Structure 1
Protein backbone atom coordinates (compact mmCIF):
# COMPACT_ATOMS: atom_id res chain seq x y z
CA UNK A 1 0.00 0.00 0.00
CA UNK A 2 1.41 3.38 -0.98
CA UNK A 3 2.15 5.84 1.79
CA UNK A 4 0.38 9.15 1.62
CA UNK A 5 2.69 12.03 0.91
CA UNK A 6 2.77 15.71 1.85
CA UNK A 7 4.38 18.04 -0.67
CA UNK A 8 6.14 21.05 0.80
CA UNK A 9 7.32 23.66 -1.70
CA UNK A 10 9.98 26.14 -0.66
CA UNK A 11 11.06 28.85 -3.09
CA UNK A 12 14.73 29.79 -3.31
CA UNK A 13 15.61 32.45 -5.87
CA UNK A 14 14.44 31.29 -9.31
CA UNK A 15 14.31 27.62 -8.29
CA UNK A 16 11.67 25.57 -6.55
CA UNK A 17 12.91 23.04 -4.04
CA UNK A 18 10.49 20.17 -3.48
CA UNK A 19 10.68 18.27 -0.21
CA UNK A 20 8.58 15.10 0.22
CA UNK A 21 7.70 13.91 3.70
CA UNK A 22 5.99 10.54 4.15
CA UNK A 23 3.52 9.74 6.93
CA UNK A 24 5.15 7.58 9.59
CA UNK A 25 8.67 8.06 8.21
CA UNK A 26 11.09 9.52 10.71
CA UNK A 27 14.05 11.60 9.48
CA UNK A 28 17.55 10.21 9.89
CA UNK A 29 19.71 11.40 12.75
CA UNK A 30 23.13 12.84 11.94
CA UNK A 31 24.71 9.70 13.38
CA UNK A 32 22.55 7.47 11.15
CA UNK A 33 23.36 9.62 8.13
CA UNK A 34 27.08 9.20 8.74
CA UNK A 35 26.70 5.46 9.29
CA UNK A 36 24.26 4.54 6.54
CA UNK A 37 24.39 7.35 3.95
CA UNK A 38 21.23 8.24 2.03
CA UNK A 39 19.50 7.59 -1.31
CA UNK A 40 20.80 4.02 -1.39
CA UNK A 41 24.49 4.91 -1.05
CA UNK A 42 26.32 1.92 0.55
CA UNK A 43 28.11 3.92 3.24
CA UNK A 44 29.13 0.88 5.27
CA UNK A 45 31.30 -0.33 2.38
CA UNK A 46 32.72 3.09 1.50
CA UNK A 47 36.06 4.75 2.21
CA UNK A 48 35.92 8.18 3.82
CA UNK A 49 38.20 10.71 2.09
CA UNK A 50 37.54 13.53 4.55
CA UNK A 51 35.35 13.96 7.63
CA UNK A 52 35.45 17.33 9.38
CA UNK A 53 33.06 20.07 10.52
CA UNK A 54 32.57 21.31 6.95
CA UNK A 55 32.66 18.29 4.66
CA UNK A 56 32.37 14.52 4.65
CA UNK A 57 33.17 12.66 1.42
CA UNK A 58 32.85 8.91 0.94
CA UNK A 59 33.73 6.81 -2.10
CA UNK A 60 33.01 3.21 -3.08
CA UNK A 61 33.10 1.04 -6.18
CA UNK A 62 31.96 -2.33 -7.47
CA UNK A 63 33.01 -4.08 -10.66
CA UNK A 64 31.21 -1.56 -12.88
CA UNK A 65 30.74 1.75 -11.09
CA UNK A 66 32.39 4.32 -8.85
CA UNK A 67 30.07 6.18 -6.45
CA UNK A 68 30.72 9.26 -4.33
CA UNK A 69 28.56 10.89 -1.66
CA UNK A 70 29.40 14.23 -0.05
CA UNK A 71 27.73 15.83 2.97
CA UNK A 72 28.10 19.60 3.18
CA UNK A 73 27.10 20.34 6.76
CA UNK A 74 26.64 24.10 6.57
CA UNK A 75 24.81 24.42 3.24
CA UNK A 76 21.03 24.11 3.57
CA UNK A 77 19.53 25.46 0.32
CA UNK A 78 20.15 26.02 -3.38
CA UNK A 79 19.87 29.79 -3.49
CA UNK A 80 21.75 31.42 -6.36
CA UNK A 81 24.46 34.03 -5.93
CA UNK A 82 27.42 35.57 -7.72
CA UNK A 83 30.89 34.07 -7.62
CA UNK A 84 34.15 36.02 -7.38
CA UNK A 85 34.20 36.74 -11.12
CA UNK A 86 30.64 38.06 -11.17
CA UNK A 87 28.93 35.01 -12.68
CA UNK A 88 25.60 33.70 -11.40
CA UNK A 89 26.28 30.41 -9.67
CA UNK A 90 24.46 27.83 -7.58
CA UNK A 91 25.40 24.74 -5.62
CA UNK A 92 27.62 22.34 -7.55
CA UNK A 93 30.39 19.83 -6.98
CA UNK A 94 33.16 18.22 -9.03
CA UNK A 95 35.12 14.98 -8.84
CA UNK A 96 38.56 15.64 -10.30
CA UNK A 97 40.21 12.48 -11.61
CA UNK A 98 43.78 11.55 -12.54
CA UNK A 99 44.50 8.14 -14.05
CA UNK A 100 48.27 8.73 -13.83
CA UNK A 101 50.34 7.56 -10.85
CA UNK A 102 52.41 10.76 -10.72
CA UNK A 103 51.52 14.37 -10.03
CA UNK A 104 50.10 15.18 -13.45
CA UNK A 105 46.84 14.62 -15.29
CA UNK A 106 46.67 12.76 -18.57
CA UNK A 107 45.53 15.09 -21.41
CA UNK A 108 42.54 13.96 -23.48
CA UNK A 109 41.94 11.08 -21.03
CA UNK A 110 41.33 12.36 -17.50
CA UNK A 111 37.92 13.76 -16.74
CA UNK A 112 36.21 16.02 -14.22
CA UNK A 113 32.64 15.02 -13.34
CA UNK A 114 30.30 17.72 -12.04
CA UNK A 115 26.82 17.69 -10.53
CA UNK A 116 24.74 20.76 -11.47
CA UNK A 117 27.79 22.61 -12.89
CA UNK A 118 25.72 25.65 -13.92
CA UNK A 119 22.34 26.94 -12.70
CA UNK A 120 20.64 25.82 -15.92
CA UNK A 121 22.43 22.45 -16.09
CA UNK A 122 21.15 19.84 -13.63
CA UNK A 123 22.46 16.31 -13.25
CA UNK A 124 25.84 14.83 -14.16
CA UNK A 125 28.17 16.47 -16.68
CA UNK A 126 31.85 16.01 -17.44
CA UNK A 127 34.75 17.74 -19.13
CA UNK A 128 38.03 16.26 -20.35
CA UNK A 129 41.40 17.63 -19.31
CA UNK A 130 43.12 19.15 -22.36
CA UNK A 131 46.56 19.93 -20.94
CA UNK A 132 48.24 23.31 -21.12
CA UNK A 133 47.07 25.71 -23.80
CA UNK A 134 48.08 29.21 -24.85
CA UNK A 135 45.59 32.03 -24.38
CA UNK A 136 45.59 35.73 -25.22
CA UNK A 137 44.50 38.31 -22.65
CA UNK A 138 43.86 41.96 -23.45
CA UNK A 139 44.98 44.40 -20.75
CA UNK A 140 43.22 47.64 -19.83
CA UNK A 141 45.55 49.65 -22.08
CA UNK A 142 44.79 47.42 -25.06
CA UNK A 143 48.02 45.44 -24.86
CA UNK A 144 47.62 41.76 -25.70
CA UNK A 145 49.50 39.28 -23.56
CA UNK A 146 49.96 35.58 -24.32
CA UNK A 147 49.90 33.23 -21.36
CA UNK A 148 49.75 29.49 -20.76
CA UNK A 149 47.18 27.76 -18.56
CA UNK A 150 45.61 24.36 -18.08
CA UNK A 151 42.40 23.86 -20.05
CA UNK A 152 39.44 21.52 -20.28
CA UNK A 153 36.94 20.63 -22.98
CA UNK A 154 33.38 22.03 -22.99
CA UNK A 155 30.92 20.29 -20.67
CA UNK A 156 29.25 17.16 -22.03
CA UNK A 157 26.13 15.35 -20.82
CA UNK A 158 26.47 11.95 -22.51
CA UNK A 159 27.90 10.09 -19.52
CA UNK A 160 26.14 6.84 -18.60
CA UNK A 161 26.44 7.91 -14.97
CA UNK A 162 24.06 9.88 -12.77
CA UNK A 163 24.27 12.64 -10.19
CA UNK A 164 22.09 14.82 -7.99
CA UNK A 165 22.06 17.30 -5.12
CA UNK A 166 19.45 16.98 -2.38
CA UNK A 167 18.69 18.75 0.89
CA UNK A 168 17.82 16.38 3.71
CA UNK A 169 16.16 17.33 7.00
CA UNK A 170 17.72 15.32 9.83
CA UNK A 171 16.22 14.38 13.17
CA UNK A 172 17.97 17.29 14.87
CA UNK A 173 15.99 19.71 12.64
CA UNK A 174 18.94 20.74 10.50
CA UNK A 175 18.65 20.81 6.69
CA UNK A 176 21.81 19.40 5.10
CA UNK A 177 23.04 19.34 1.51
CA UNK A 178 24.06 15.95 0.13
CA UNK A 179 25.69 15.44 -3.29
CA UNK A 180 25.80 12.00 -4.90
CA UNK A 181 27.33 10.83 -8.17
CA UNK A 182 27.63 7.48 -9.93
CA UNK A 183 30.26 7.01 -12.66
CA UNK A 184 30.94 3.95 -14.86
CA UNK A 185 34.50 2.67 -14.39
CA UNK A 186 34.71 2.16 -18.15
CA UNK A 187 34.48 5.93 -18.65
CA UNK A 188 37.53 6.29 -16.41
CA UNK A 189 39.44 3.56 -18.27
CA UNK A 190 39.74 1.73 -14.96
CA UNK A 191 38.81 -1.64 -13.47
CA UNK A 192 38.87 -3.35 -10.10
CA UNK A 193 42.43 -3.61 -8.66
CA UNK A 194 43.56 -0.44 -10.47
CA UNK A 195 44.55 2.75 -8.66
CA UNK A 196 42.93 6.13 -9.17
CA UNK A 197 43.72 9.60 -7.86
CA UNK A 198 40.83 11.90 -7.03
CA UNK A 199 39.83 15.13 -5.34
CA UNK A 200 36.24 16.13 -4.56
CA UNK A 201 35.38 19.84 -4.70
CA UNK A 202 32.15 21.46 -3.48
CA UNK A 203 30.94 25.01 -3.99
CA UNK A 204 28.04 27.15 -2.77
CA UNK A 205 27.38 30.79 -3.61
CA UNK A 206 24.87 31.33 -0.80
CA UNK A 207 26.16 30.73 1.78
CA UNK A 208 29.58 31.34 0.22
CA UNK A 209 31.43 28.06 0.77
CA UNK A 210 34.18 26.12 -0.99
CA UNK A 211 35.70 22.92 0.33
CA UNK A 212 37.67 19.99 -1.05
CA UNK A 213 38.58 16.51 0.10
CA UNK A 214 42.30 16.61 -0.66
CA UNK A 215 43.59 19.41 1.57
CA UNK A 216 44.21 22.02 -1.12
CA UNK A 217 44.25 25.57 0.26
CA UNK A 218 44.50 28.96 -1.42
CA UNK A 219 44.83 32.48 -0.04
CA UNK A 220 42.54 33.71 -2.82
CA UNK A 221 39.31 32.40 -4.27
CA UNK A 222 39.73 29.27 -6.36
CA UNK A 223 37.76 26.92 -8.58
CA UNK A 224 37.89 23.16 -9.09
CA UNK A 225 40.35 23.35 -12.01
CA UNK A 226 42.82 25.30 -9.84
CA UNK A 227 43.47 22.30 -7.59
CA UNK A 228 46.83 20.84 -8.59
CA UNK A 229 47.01 17.13 -9.33
CA UNK A 230 49.72 16.59 -6.74
CA UNK A 231 47.07 17.10 -4.05
CA UNK A 232 44.78 14.36 -5.35
CA UNK A 233 44.13 11.38 -3.09
CA UNK A 234 45.15 7.90 -4.20
CA UNK A 235 42.53 5.18 -3.89
CA UNK A 236 42.58 1.50 -4.75
CA UNK A 237 39.53 0.27 -6.64
CA UNK A 238 38.21 -2.67 -4.63
CA UNK A 239 35.04 -4.55 -5.45
CA UNK A 240 32.77 -3.78 -2.48
CA UNK A 241 30.88 -6.88 -1.28
CA UNK A 242 27.10 -7.15 -1.77
CA UNK A 243 26.97 -3.81 -3.55
CA UNK A 244 24.67 -3.06 -6.48
CA UNK A 245 25.64 0.46 -7.42
CA UNK A 246 23.63 0.33 -10.63
CA UNK A 247 20.53 0.79 -8.44
CA UNK A 248 21.86 4.06 -7.00
CA UNK A 249 20.00 7.19 -8.15
CA UNK A 250 17.48 5.37 -10.40
Structure 2
Protein backbone atom coordinates (compact mmCIF):
# COMPACT_ATOMS: atom_id res chain seq x y z
CA UNK A 1 0.00 0.00 0.00
CA UNK A 2 2.89 2.35 0.75
CA UNK A 3 4.17 1.96 -2.84
CA UNK A 4 0.80 2.66 -4.41
CA UNK A 5 -0.03 6.15 -5.65
CA UNK A 6 -2.77 7.93 -7.58
CA UNK A 7 -1.25 7.02 -10.94
CA UNK A 8 -1.60 3.33 -10.05
CA UNK A 9 -5.35 3.72 -9.56
CA UNK A 10 -5.72 5.78 -12.71
CA UNK A 11 -4.21 2.94 -14.73
CA UNK A 12 -6.74 0.51 -13.26
CA UNK A 13 -9.72 2.63 -14.31
CA UNK A 14 -11.35 1.70 -17.58
CA UNK A 15 -12.82 4.40 -19.77
CA UNK A 16 -16.39 3.66 -20.75
CA UNK A 17 -17.42 5.03 -24.10
CA UNK A 18 -20.90 6.56 -24.21
CA UNK A 19 -23.36 4.70 -26.37
CA UNK A 20 -26.45 6.16 -27.97
CA UNK A 21 -29.50 4.01 -27.41
CA UNK A 22 -32.02 4.07 -30.19
CA UNK A 23 -35.61 3.10 -29.78
CA UNK A 24 -37.61 2.52 -32.89
CA UNK A 25 -41.31 3.21 -32.58
CA UNK A 26 -43.55 2.06 -35.32
CA UNK A 27 -46.38 4.47 -35.86
CA UNK A 28 -49.51 3.62 -37.70
CA UNK A 29 -51.44 6.13 -39.72
CA UNK A 30 -55.02 6.57 -38.72
CA UNK A 31 -57.30 5.06 -41.28
CA UNK A 32 -59.79 7.40 -42.90
CA UNK A 33 -63.47 6.78 -42.46
CA UNK A 34 -65.30 5.09 -45.24
CA UNK A 35 -68.36 6.55 -46.87
CA UNK A 36 -70.65 4.33 -44.83
CA UNK A 37 -68.98 5.40 -41.59
CA UNK A 38 -69.33 9.07 -42.50
CA UNK A 39 -73.04 8.62 -43.17
CA UNK A 40 -73.43 6.71 -39.90
CA UNK A 41 -71.79 9.41 -37.76
CA UNK A 42 -73.68 12.15 -39.60
CA UNK A 43 -76.92 10.43 -38.69
CA UNK A 44 -75.81 10.18 -35.05
CA UNK A 45 -75.19 13.94 -35.04
CA UNK A 46 -78.62 14.62 -36.49
CA UNK A 47 -80.51 12.50 -33.96
CA UNK A 48 -78.49 13.95 -31.06
CA UNK A 49 -76.56 10.85 -30.04
CA UNK A 50 -73.27 12.65 -30.65
CA UNK A 51 -72.60 16.31 -29.87
CA UNK A 52 -70.02 18.64 -31.30
CA UNK A 53 -67.66 20.58 -29.08
CA UNK A 54 -69.50 23.53 -27.51
CA UNK A 55 -68.61 27.05 -28.54
CA UNK A 56 -66.63 29.25 -26.19
CA UNK A 57 -68.68 30.96 -23.49
CA UNK A 58 -66.15 33.71 -22.81
CA UNK A 59 -68.48 36.34 -24.26
CA UNK A 60 -70.76 35.91 -21.24
CA UNK A 61 -68.08 37.33 -18.95
CA UNK A 62 -67.05 40.26 -21.15
CA UNK A 63 -68.90 42.85 -19.07
CA UNK A 64 -67.63 41.36 -15.80
CA UNK A 65 -64.05 41.47 -17.06
CA UNK A 66 -64.49 45.08 -18.13
CA UNK A 67 -65.86 45.99 -14.68
CA UNK A 68 -62.96 44.19 -13.02
CA UNK A 69 -60.43 46.17 -15.07
CA UNK A 70 -62.23 49.40 -14.21
CA UNK A 71 -62.17 48.61 -10.49
CA UNK A 72 -58.49 47.72 -10.73
CA UNK A 73 -57.70 51.06 -12.38
CA UNK A 74 -59.70 52.97 -9.76
CA UNK A 75 -57.97 51.12 -6.93
CA UNK A 76 -54.52 51.85 -8.36
CA UNK A 77 -55.51 55.49 -8.84
CA UNK A 78 -56.44 55.84 -5.17
CA UNK A 79 -53.28 54.08 -4.04
CA UNK A 80 -50.88 55.95 -6.32
CA UNK A 81 -52.29 59.35 -5.31
CA UNK A 82 -52.65 58.37 -1.63
CA UNK A 83 -56.34 59.33 -1.50
CA UNK A 84 -58.25 58.60 1.70
CA UNK A 85 -61.17 61.03 1.54
CA UNK A 86 -63.46 62.85 -0.86
CA UNK A 87 -61.63 66.13 -0.20
CA UNK A 88 -58.34 64.58 -1.28
CA UNK A 89 -60.01 63.16 -4.37
CA UNK A 90 -61.33 66.59 -5.38
CA UNK A 91 -57.88 68.09 -4.79
CA UNK A 92 -56.22 65.47 -7.01
CA UNK A 93 -58.80 66.00 -9.76
CA UNK A 94 -58.15 69.75 -9.65
CA UNK A 95 -54.39 69.14 -9.79
CA UNK A 96 -54.75 66.79 -12.75
CA UNK A 97 -56.93 69.33 -14.55
CA UNK A 98 -54.22 71.97 -14.19
CA UNK A 99 -51.59 69.46 -15.28
CA UNK A 100 -53.59 68.59 -18.37
CA UNK A 101 -53.73 72.27 -19.31
CA UNK A 102 -49.97 72.57 -18.87
CA UNK A 103 -49.29 69.50 -21.01
CA UNK A 104 -51.68 70.72 -23.71
CA UNK A 105 -49.94 74.08 -23.72
CA UNK A 106 -46.56 72.37 -24.03
CA UNK A 107 -47.80 70.26 -26.95
CA UNK A 108 -49.18 73.36 -28.64
CA UNK A 109 -45.85 75.16 -28.15
CA UNK A 110 -43.92 72.29 -29.76
CA UNK A 111 -46.37 72.14 -32.66
CA UNK A 112 -46.08 75.87 -33.33
CA UNK A 113 -42.28 75.71 -33.17
CA UNK A 114 -42.30 72.85 -35.66
CA UNK A 115 -44.62 74.76 -37.99
CA UNK A 116 -42.27 77.76 -37.94
CA UNK A 117 -39.62 75.47 -39.42
CA UNK A 118 -41.98 74.13 -42.09
CA UNK A 119 -40.14 75.99 -44.85
CA UNK A 120 -36.87 74.31 -43.88
CA UNK A 121 -38.53 70.90 -43.90
CA UNK A 122 -40.04 71.52 -47.35
CA UNK A 123 -36.62 72.44 -48.74
CA UNK A 124 -35.13 69.32 -47.14
CA UNK A 125 -37.87 67.18 -48.72
CA UNK A 126 -37.11 68.63 -52.15
CA UNK A 127 -33.42 67.90 -51.64
CA UNK A 128 -34.22 64.33 -50.63
CA UNK A 129 -36.03 63.84 -53.92
CA UNK A 130 -33.03 65.20 -55.83
CA UNK A 131 -30.47 63.24 -53.82
CA UNK A 132 -30.24 60.20 -56.20
CA UNK A 133 -29.75 62.52 -59.18
CA UNK A 134 -27.12 64.51 -57.27
CA UNK A 135 -25.18 61.34 -56.48
CA UNK A 136 -25.27 60.33 -60.13
CA UNK A 137 -24.01 63.78 -61.16
CA UNK A 138 -21.13 63.58 -58.69
CA UNK A 139 -20.19 60.22 -60.22
CA UNK A 140 -19.81 61.91 -63.62
CA UNK A 141 -23.26 61.59 -65.19
CA UNK A 142 -23.87 64.97 -66.88
CA UNK A 143 -27.44 64.03 -67.71
CA UNK A 144 -28.49 65.29 -64.26
CA UNK A 145 -26.99 68.77 -64.62
CA UNK A 146 -30.36 70.49 -64.16
CA UNK A 147 -31.05 68.50 -61.01
CA UNK A 148 -27.59 69.42 -59.71
CA UNK A 149 -28.32 73.12 -60.22
CA UNK A 150 -31.62 72.74 -58.35
CA UNK A 151 -29.77 70.94 -55.56
CA UNK A 152 -27.26 73.76 -55.25
CA UNK A 153 -30.03 76.37 -55.19
CA UNK A 154 -31.85 74.57 -52.37
CA UNK A 155 -28.60 74.06 -50.52
CA UNK A 156 -27.87 77.78 -50.65
CA UNK A 157 -31.35 78.52 -49.29
CA UNK A 158 -30.64 76.36 -46.26
CA UNK A 159 -27.20 77.89 -45.76
CA UNK A 160 -28.67 81.39 -45.93
CA UNK A 161 -30.84 80.48 -42.93
CA UNK A 162 -27.92 78.93 -41.08
CA UNK A 163 -28.73 75.25 -41.60
CA UNK A 164 -27.39 72.30 -43.51
CA UNK A 165 -29.41 69.33 -44.73
CA UNK A 166 -28.18 67.14 -41.87
CA UNK A 167 -29.05 69.79 -39.29
CA UNK A 168 -32.57 70.18 -40.70
CA UNK A 169 -33.13 66.42 -40.53
CA UNK A 170 -31.88 66.40 -36.93
CA UNK A 171 -34.23 69.28 -36.12
CA UNK A 172 -37.15 67.43 -37.68
CA UNK A 173 -36.34 64.33 -35.64
CA UNK A 174 -36.08 66.42 -32.46
CA UNK A 175 -39.51 67.99 -32.93
CA UNK A 176 -41.03 64.61 -33.76
CA UNK A 177 -39.69 63.02 -30.58
CA UNK A 178 -40.69 65.96 -28.40
CA UNK A 179 -44.19 66.04 -29.86
CA UNK A 180 -44.60 62.29 -29.35
CA UNK A 181 -43.53 62.62 -25.71
CA UNK A 182 -45.98 65.48 -25.15
CA UNK A 183 -48.83 63.49 -26.71
CA UNK A 184 -48.04 60.44 -24.58
CA UNK A 185 -47.91 62.59 -21.45
CA UNK A 186 -51.22 64.22 -22.35
CA UNK A 187 -52.89 60.83 -22.88
CA UNK A 188 -51.61 59.58 -19.52
CA UNK A 189 -52.87 62.67 -17.67
CA UNK A 190 -56.19 62.54 -19.49
CA UNK A 191 -56.64 58.89 -18.54
CA UNK A 192 -55.86 59.60 -14.89
CA UNK A 193 -58.27 62.52 -14.89
CA UNK A 194 -61.06 60.41 -16.35
CA UNK A 195 -60.51 57.74 -13.71
CA UNK A 196 -60.69 60.35 -10.95
CA UNK A 197 -63.89 61.82 -12.37
CA UNK A 198 -65.38 58.34 -12.67
CA UNK A 199 -64.69 57.66 -9.00
CA UNK A 200 -66.19 60.99 -8.01
CA UNK A 201 -69.34 60.36 -10.04
CA UNK A 202 -69.77 57.00 -8.32
CA UNK A 203 -69.80 58.85 -4.98
CA UNK A 204 -72.55 61.24 -6.04
CA UNK A 205 -76.11 60.02 -5.27
CA UNK A 206 -78.51 59.66 -8.16
CA UNK A 207 -80.76 62.36 -6.68
CA UNK A 208 -78.18 65.05 -7.42
CA UNK A 209 -76.85 63.75 -10.73
CA UNK A 210 -78.88 66.30 -12.72
CA UNK A 211 -76.04 68.58 -13.79
CA UNK A 212 -75.38 70.14 -10.38
CA UNK A 213 -72.17 68.24 -9.69
CA UNK A 214 -70.08 71.34 -9.06
CA UNK A 215 -72.51 72.74 -6.51
CA UNK A 216 -72.79 69.36 -4.85
CA UNK A 217 -69.00 69.10 -4.69
CA UNK A 218 -68.67 72.37 -2.81
CA UNK A 219 -71.51 71.61 -0.40
CA UNK A 220 -70.24 68.10 0.30
CA UNK A 221 -66.71 69.28 1.02
CA UNK A 222 -67.97 72.12 3.24
CA UNK A 223 -70.27 69.81 5.20
CA UNK A 224 -67.55 67.25 5.75
CA UNK A 225 -65.10 69.87 6.92
CA UNK A 226 -67.64 71.24 9.39
CA UNK A 227 -68.25 67.84 10.96
CA UNK A 228 -66.60 67.50 14.38
CA UNK A 229 -63.66 65.16 14.68
CA UNK A 230 -64.21 61.99 16.66
TM-score (norm 1): 0.19
Larger Rg: 2
TM-score (norm 2): 0.20
Q: Which has the higher helix share?
A: 2
Q: Which has the higher strand share?
A: 1
